[in-house]
Amino acid sequence: MHDFRRSPLAKYLLLQIPGWILAAVVLGVLRRWIDLPNWGAAALFLAWVVKDLMLFPFLRPVYEARGRGGIERLIGVQGTAEERLAPSGYIRIGGELWRAEALQTDISIPRGSRVRVQAVRGLTLLIHPEE
């Protein structure tokens, strides 16, 4: 059985409902205020819904569930020690500096060494040196 709550399309459509309600209210006011014909209001509302449906393929990746998000995505990633880690300091992953701490507190990791992220504690990456 398909879990509708996890479907990216379901999430997207549920988040569009308030916009559709607002569009219907505005079109209802316009019908009375500028004497907009019923067919015109219906056509504008349909155009609004079609616009939202056409945008979904571009926005789908945002609504897809991910296994790990946030800082946890860095687990398993390799970085470089920006300073001597004894046992903590900063490492560079891509273009970002991250606070890191060696899992083994009895070692010192020299500046420039390659390290790998093993775990996360808060916003600190727990690392070990690469061989």
89: left (phi over 0), alpha (psi -120 to 50) or beta: left
> Is 108:84 a contact under the CB 8 Å cutoff?
yes
Q: Vertex 118, ends 129 and 85: CA angle to 5°?
A: 40
What are the two backbone dihedrals, phi and then psi, of residue 130, each rounded to the nearest 5 degrees? Answer: -85, 145
CATH 1.20.1250.20 assigned to 70-129: no
Domain ranges of the chain: 4-63, 70-129
For the stretch 7-43, pLDDT in tens is 888 889 999 999 999 999 999 998 888 988 999 989 9
How far is the C-alpha of 94 from the C-alpha of 91, rounded, in Å? 10
For the stretch 41-94, pLDDT in tens is 899 999 999 999 999 998 888 777 665 567 888 899 999 999 999 888 999 998
Mean local confidence (pLDDT), 120-127: 92
